Structure 1
């Protein structure tokens, strides 16, 4: 079976676009106004999520990364209470996604640093992760890496702290969490070792790997080797998820290009691939049949 390609959050077209909200705008309203504003945004964004699921079904896209900001301020008690009121609607939406065969994942933002040496940062990281886990629970998604919460290792040279803090996470988070290698703090080999110790899956990103190792090709033997090693961290190998992007101004540019012009041939072996390209669905369409061309 060819790899399933995943859409990240929104489309380049206006088909899938969510409403956003800044704290400044929220605080311009009295409490009743804040409640009404959040209710309206949550309702609209849930409707957009449903539209995203229909879009993915039409386009044959079987994996969707839900935006971390889909329900703004739901990591705070006020927003969380409002989100609970939408629980029946969320459960129906999540079940419809499952019935359509669409896998749902999330990628919490850069403020999640479990390896930080600041207890305040760690506490805030757990709060943000709990919000993501709550959304997955409300969407009736399994407490397993199928409904993955992908994060980076964070502060470098803190592997022991990262392993210890993962072990202390609430089940709703720990059962879903996976770690991704990055360009600077944690190499693919380092994240692989941490994943083995922590008992969580590794999300291999080939572009982060080539930038970190200063490689000049996705065909370097270490790319396929790390893909295979990462698969060993998944309890269900068929659930393995990887990322791909290309450099914008050059092969080793960490900034993402509009499309995916170069794909590792070893990615034919990956069951699930998130396409991290600026042109979103256009990049996915341009990859139609790539696994055949790579043979």
Structure 2
């Protein structure tokens, strides 16, 4: 089988397409022929040794896959050769074949493409945990979504609307504004690219305040970080909740007097740890996502695909913050 490997820390250009022996499933495992692997921002970080987990090299990036069961390990029940599934791996997905814990595999419904399946779990499960558990978003509240045209951003727009919120999408271009509106955002605001000087930061905060209205945003969903976080915090409502999702624009440092003045909260969101600590609650969220998907209220948007040999280009595209929706690497085999 072929795999796109990271042999040393570096950017996407350091990844090497390599021939490897097929893995063999052990007890409780499934051997899966990968059909599609979604690219997420952790893939940018993990190959540079900047992610919170550092796999032993060589390893393939790619933590979110959809594929077909090729062999079943000892003791596995409920799965058979030819079954379609989606799974979260952490890493390893940019390979033609992977081993998946049968306990962690999720059936992919017939009629859903592998590309869609690979693009569902990480963004939507992170977001439903963020909005339902961490923010406790209520019907009628105002939700400000930063980076609203990316994978998690569009998921926040759709799930925010499904939960009855007024959704304000903040994006970096007119094209991305259209994508956010198409996903259901009530309005969109286009912000300039940072970093910002003092006056620029003040103007950005004013832009967010105007977009959400005088009462402020009850919840801020922030997968961007950098200078955008403080500007959004200045637009938050009394007792609002700012959700910390990620930092492609850099890790911000916040003046904590703002939390005092607004009596607001800054709440971290770590879906992977939540899923490991409370698998029953996570399973309930996944069931809700599949119901909403079946009802047409959410739908993963795959905007671009690449073949395995060009998987590094997909990661570079993600690193450049150009993505609208999800980016997916597909396997032809």
Measured against the shorter chain, the TM-score band is 0.3 to 0.5
- Which structure would you say has the larger Rg? 2
User: Which structure has more strand as a fraction of its residues?
Assistant: 2
Higher helix fraction: Structure 1 or Structure 2? 1
TM-score, with normalisation over the residues of structure 1?
A: 0.33
